[in-house]
Amino acid sequence: MQQRNSRIFKSLLYVMLLVVMVYVVVFMPTPYMVNQPGSAEEIKPMIRVAGGDPEEKGTFMMTTVSVTYANVAALIASQFNSQAQIVRKTPEQGGKEYETQQIYYMSDSQSSAMAAAYHKAKVPFNIVSEYVFVVSLSKSNPPKGDFAPGDIIRKVEGQALTRFEQLSGILKTKKAGDRVSVELERDGKTLSQQAELIPLKDPATGGNRAGFGLNIGELRKVKSVDPKQQVEFAHTQVGGPSAGLMFTLEIYNQLTPGDLSKGYRIAGTGTMSTDGTVGPIGGVQFKIVAADREKAEIFFVPEDNYKDAKKKAEEIGTSMKLVPVKTVDDALNYLSKLKAKAG
């Protein structure tokens, strides 16, 4: 009997040890992330221009970085992956605030790409502010009210909001400690509250002003004067601003006659300003690998990222042509001189 109890005890002990090991390896969070090559996705299915020219024998592709919040198993596996990079997670990464920021950056990137493409194609358009929303809560001056990242601020003191300037105008006669009525939209539901204003530094004057303690974004939509040339984006799970350049090229290709791709598989990265300036991005080395895996033949890279991109391209031995650009005009000029691909 004693021997049997001893066997049962040992069996239970083994099971407990196994459970602990599984938890540590699979479920226990770590302060690290693993960055590695993501995807190179065709943009045409993401964008539609009602009266646009659909001709495209080649393809334009956006590139991404895969970011994984690492468990112990992922950290171990990354040691055997030459393209993986372990980085320490920063406090702002993860959670609703980070997700809201990435969605905002993507939305802003799409709007900037539309404006830049409309400008180059000489399509009249207007920029319309749709709403103001909460991007994040201030860490140094937290709000005194029920606010969450992603909340749309519909009204303050009974006045509808669509632009930053309107909020400043409503609060300019208020002081810290005053309570104001706020109407929010959260997950499709309307929430009303009385929020207390707090003292905030005014960067314009150097003095104090009353505010909520929120980092706020303004969602703007670019509207074509001609509805037939209105650009519509399909929903995407990708966040961030780095697809701006490639969005612009795809939109311009649909707005203008002919095939800008000329039969080539064209990938790239870079932020886009409404004036056509291409800005640098992070993780270009991962995007080079992602594009090469999808057999891209040309890769547009922001000039500031060219050195790192060239180093990675040489490391993996790709035949992909790297083209450094400062503006969307640089990319368009390169494509205009490119001979159409045979076959």
Range of the structural domain that residue 173 is part of: 129-220
CA distance 248 to 271: 10
On whether the CB atoms of residues 157 and 174 are closer than 8 A, the answer is no
Same domain membership, residue 259 and residue 231? yes
The angle that helices 95-121 and 244-255 make with each other, rounded to 10 degrees, is: 40
> In Å, what is the CA distance from 83 to each residue of 78, 234, 300, 314, 318?
8, 30, 21, 14, 15
Contact, 164 vs 211, CB < 8 A? no
Q: Are residues 137 and 116 in the same domain?
A: no
Residue 165, domain member (yes or no): yes
| CA 241 – CA 107 distance, rounded (Å) | 8
Q: Confirm if 220 and 128 have CB atoms less than 8 A apart.
A: yes
The number of folded domains in the chain is: 2
Supply the residues annotated as catalytic. Answer: 242, 287
DSSP strands (E only) in the chain = 32-42, 47-49, 59-69, 85-88, 125-137, 152-156, 159-160, 179-186, 189-196, 198-201, 208-211, 214-224, 231-233, 265-268, 271-272, 278-279, 298-302, 321-325
Residue 13 amino acid letter: L
137 lies in the same domain as 160 = yes
Does any domain span residue 281? yes
**How far apart, in whole angstroms, are the C-alpha atoms of residue 202 and residue 225?**
37
The Cα-based distances of 242 to 17, 89, 108, 247 in angstroms read 45, 20, 11, 10
> Which of residues 220, 253, 271 is at a domain's end?
220
- For residue 204, the model assigns a pLDDT of 67
Instruction: Write out the chain's pLDDT in tens, 343 residues.
Output: 556 666 766 777 777 777 666 655 556 677 777 888 999 999 999 999 988 888 889 999 999 998 777 777 767 777 777 787 777 876 566 667 777 888 888 888 999 999 999 999 999 999 999 999 998 898 888 999 999 999 999 999 999 999 988 998 999 889 999 999 999 999 999 999 999 999 988 776 777 889 999 988 888 899 999 999 999 998 766 777 899 999 999 999 999 999 999 999 999 999 999 999 999 999 999 999 999 999 999 999 999 999 999 999 999 999 999 999 999 999 999 999 999 887 6
Tell me: do 165 and 277 sit in the same domain. no
- Name 53's Cβ contacts closer than 8 Å, sequence gap at least 6: 253, 254, 255, 256, 257, 258
Say yes or no: 297 and 330 in one domain: yes
Phi-psi region of 213 (alpha: psi -120 to 50; beta: other; left: phi over 0): left
Distance (Å, whole) CA 341 – CA 57: 9
Same domain assignment for residues 203 and 159: yes
**Contact (Cβ atoms closer than 8 angstroms) between residue 325 and residue 301:** yes
Residue 6 maps to a domain? no
d(CA 146, CA 185): 12
**In this structure, are 262 and 278 located in the same domain?**
yes
Domain boundary among 166, 190, 220: 220
Instruction: Give the dihedral sign, CA 295/296/302/306.
Output: positive
Asked if 235 and 184 sit in the same domain, the reply is no
Give yes or no: residues 133 and 213 share one domain: yes
Same domain, 332 and 277: yes
What's the confidence (pLDDT) of residue 343? Answer: 64
Q: How much is the pLDDT for 181?
A: 95
The pTM (predicted TM-score) of the whole model is 0.83
Q: How far apart are CA 185 and CA 34, in angstroms?
A: 35
Domain final residue, candidates 220, 245, 280: 220
Query: What's the sign of the alpha-carbon dihedral 184, 186, 190, 194?
Result: negative
pLDDT of residue 304: 96
CATH number of the domain where residue 215 is located: 2.30.42.10
Could you list the beta-strand ranges (E) of 93-213.
125-137, 152-156, 159-160, 179-186, 189-196, 198-201, 208-211
